[in-house]
Structure 1
């Protein structure tokens, strides 16, 4: 496979994550939907920080803002902040076990949710509800499988 096709897989996985972000679901399940796009960006930032970093995160967050219908820039800023932290510490995070990564990513997902709440509260007057943190729990539970899947394809396609 050519190099462009290999890198295209990275952006294809982000596109699939965006589709999972807007896929219709029952209201009860929708509250606990993992932040697919952010999880995929976290993986690619840890694996390929030279290819996927803050700029990609900002653009993807902006697309999430458009798709979900939130105030423009809220997800973009929150994605950029979280991916900046991941990019700064990607070498350390790579050496952690998948369980340790899951716990650390849970903290980063909580940071993302709290940034979203804070920005939304500042801009629109939304009040905090504990249900906002369900995606943190589901993201931590999904991470080992997502990590395994993306790593498998990265190694199989020799993406560097």
Structure 2
């Protein structure tokens, strides 16, 4: 019974990560593209909070490399930022499971800000890209989407456990 639950959880994790990658790759209008959150990072943050082991870091690296290949980015850019995100979330996951909704939301925004800073630093070193304040707009949409994403993922996991 336990092996089946673990298998269902792993399958759900990979399906949700693929969904995050697909949402990242969807074409958006130029105006909305400025607001598009980093879906894969939000999924990694969720799974790092809820998984009891460190295998999420391997998943983060694999899907980060997949994002690099599909987006034509510098190989390892997303992999590195997602592994750093997963590491930071995993280190404080036990404490954060007991915090309030608002504290968790603020911490998720800090982690996503860190993800943006890492990717901007890699772009600066590689291409001399100058980060702008507008690069932080995805944090606003992430703040609006995160509560709904967490609720949906928690409900789906609960229904999978019950069936």
Q: TM-score, normalised by structure 2?
A: 0.91
Aligned to 2:138: 135
Aligned to 1:123: 126
User: Is 1:23 equivalent to 2:29 in the alignment?
Assistant: no
| 1:27-50 Cα distance to aligned partner (Å, 9 max, x none) | 110111011111111111111132
CA RMSD of the aligned region, Å? 1.6
| Cα distance change, pair 113–38 in 1 and its aligned pair in 2 (3 A) | same
| 1:41-89 Cα distance to aligned partner (Å, 9 max, x none) | 1111111132642111111111111122211111111111111000111
Structure 1, unaligned runs of 5 or more = none
| Cα distance change, pair 6–106 in 1 and its aligned pair in 2 (3 A) | closer
C-alpha distance in structure 2 between counterparts of 1:105 and 1:93, whole Å:
10
Per-residue deviation at 1:97?
2.0
After TM superposition, the runs of 4+ consecutive aligned structure 1 residues lying more than 6 A away are none
Of 49-58 and 95-104, the range deviating more from structure 2: 49-58
User: Is 1:42 equivalent to 2:45 in the alignment?
Assistant: yes
C-alpha distance in structure 1 between counterparts of 2:76 and 2:52, whole Å:
23
C-alpha distance in structure 2 between counterparts of 1:5 and 1:151, whole Å:
14
Structure 2, unaligned runs of 5 or more = none
User: Would you say how many aligned residue pairs link Structure 1 and Structure 2?
Assistant: 159
Aligned to 2:56: 53
Q: TM-score, normalised by structure 1?
A: 0.93
